[in-house]
Amino acid sequence: MRTLRDQIGARVYPVHRLDRGTSGALLFALSSQAASVLGKAFELGRVAKCYWALTRGRPLDGDIDHPIEKREGGPRVAAVTRVRCLAVAGRYALVEAQPLTGRLHQVRRHLKHVSCPIIGDVRYGKGEHNRHFREHYGLHRLALHALELSFEQPESGERVQVRAPLEARLHSCLEALGFGALL
């Protein structure tokens, strides 16, 4: 927040968070009122979110409808993530994931639930695959990227689409796997 504040010379208000190790699009507001409106839009599912994940295994295209905790230690609640396989390289797949609800570690937990954990995920993933990607591709991070956010601008109501470029190390890993045409 400080970096962004210093870059634009104004106070910023965070609207949502990304898991530690996830790269990509973050949304900040320039007023507490706009942050409140946008935060409510996230809660109501009015913000479209699109992630890319590198997984071990290829999930079936469609919805993963599996209840998970909204907050750590809380009761399980409805959770749905729409997934689509973009490409496959051996045992690994590049997957597009669109969480339709907002739950703790939702994309990571849903992909693990269908036996396709995200590479680099030390909590829900597989150590042997994480080590393979560290050693062979120099990927020392979670292979999850918040590619795109789409929402209504609070003042104008205009639909805004924000797309974040892939972080360099993840980009080079995906290229090395043969996914370059998609990047």
Residues marked active site are found at: 19
Bridging pattern class, strands 76-77 and 23-24: unpaired
Quote the DSSP letter at residue 72.
T
Rounded to 10 deg, the angle between the 168-176 and 127-137 helix axes is 90
The tokens for 143 are: 């292979």
Could you give the maximum distance between any two Cα atoms of the chain, in Å?
A: 49
* N residues, the chain: 183
By CB atoms closer than 10 A (0-12, 13-18, 19+), residue 58 is middle
